[in-house]
Amino acid sequence: MKVIFAGTPEFARVAVQSLYAAGFAIPLVLTQPDRPAGRGMKLQASPVRQWAESLHIPVAQPRSLRLDGRFPEDAAAARAAIETAHADVMVVAAYGLILPQWVLDSLHEVNSAGARKLGCLNIHASLLPRWRGAAPIHRAIEAGDAETGVTIMQMDAGLDTGAILLMEKLPIQPTDTTGTLQGRLAALGGRLIVEALELARRSRLKPVTQPAHGVTHAKKIEKTEARVDWRQPVAVIERRIRAFDPFPGAVAQLGPDSIKLWRSQINSEGNPLHKGCGTILSANAEGVQVVAGDGVLTLTELQRAGGKRLPAADFLRGFPMQAGQVFEVPRP
């Protein structure tokens, strides 16, 4: 079976590596164009491109796949590459581009052996129909979900609306960040897509229509969401700190300094001292205790602009904080 793979970040690299290790032929990889990254903002290839090139697998990096869009020459070149690959299926994982109808149709035609192609299959990091959209891992942690998982889905023209082919649940641990949870989901996604294609080989893959109830949308994470609002409940702030790790990182403003918050724990419910939200109650080796909307949150890992992520004890040696200082509360 020939598989065109479309994906960009580390989550996708794990999936395509799993397919390759399972013996599937990969004649073409689609991935996002190189992006500036790091302090020097040099162009950096995606994890998927780096993996593909290490094995001399052809790579296409169209800026768009829309033949009538801003980059029709990119789309036309991608179409030619897809046609030349003569693949049986396209597997998509965190690609970052919307597949137009011509792509979906091209993978549903009959192949040279007279068998119908399998179309486009998506590895989606949620239990569909919950968390359709761009940021399902972040939003599941932010919402306080007890579990998530991976869905292998038959792609259609909608946003994550296609039929479910395989699904497996995964518990969310109380200390999970987006980074840690993404690693486990990537491994699960790699295993499930191999299982799905093996079932398809034996004509045992049975699509199930997504239920109409329970639909939620995981909108893209914006940097503007990173600012901590200390009026929110402690549990909400604690979850958002974990959800925004490693990107974009929760941010608290203390005077002129923007401080990223990476780890925290709920200290207590209630505000016995009746201090204003954002007020620092204490700052010591155990952490920085801050008043939130319904209790006290202890910050245990912090980072100054241009600095490193540090445990509270190390951070405070270079950036002392005092009881009575107040983190800025964003305006409504």
Average pLDDT over residues 58-66: 97
Contact 175, 155 (CB under 8 A): no
d(CA 240, CA 142) in angstroms, rounded, equals 5
pLDDT score for 155: 97
pLDDT score for 273: 61
The SS3 of residue 304 is: strand
Report pLDDT digits (tens) over 255-287. 999 999 999 999 876 665 678 999 999 999 999
Please check the confidence at residue 44 and state whether its pLDDT lies above 70. Answer: yes
Please check the confidence at residue 37 and state whether its pLDDT lies above 90. Answer: no
Report pLDDT digits (tens) over 111-169. 656 567 899 999 999 999 999 999 999 999 999 999 999 999 999 999 999 999 999 99
Point out the least confidently predicted range of 24-38, 41-55, 198-212, 265-279. Answer: 265-279
d(CA 246, CA 332) in angstroms, rounded, equals 26
Contact 101, 67 (CB under 8 A): no
User: The tokens of 261 are what?
Assistant: 């918050």
Instruction: Output the DSSP codes for 111-173.
Output: -TTSPBP--EEEEESS-TTTTEES-HHHHHHHHT-SEEEEEEEE--SSSS-SPEEEEEEEEPP
d(CA 201, CA 82) in angstroms, rounded, equals 21
Please check the confidence at residue 291 and state whether its pLDDT lies above 90. Answer: yes
Average pLDDT over residues 231-254: 97
Contact 91, 14 (CB under 8 A): no
Average pLDDT over residues 221-233: 94
Mean pLDDT of the chain: 94
User: The tokens of 119 are what?
Assistant: 């179309």
The SS3 of residue 208 is: strand
Point out the least confidently predicted range of 30-44, 105-119, 129-143, 185-199. Answer: 105-119
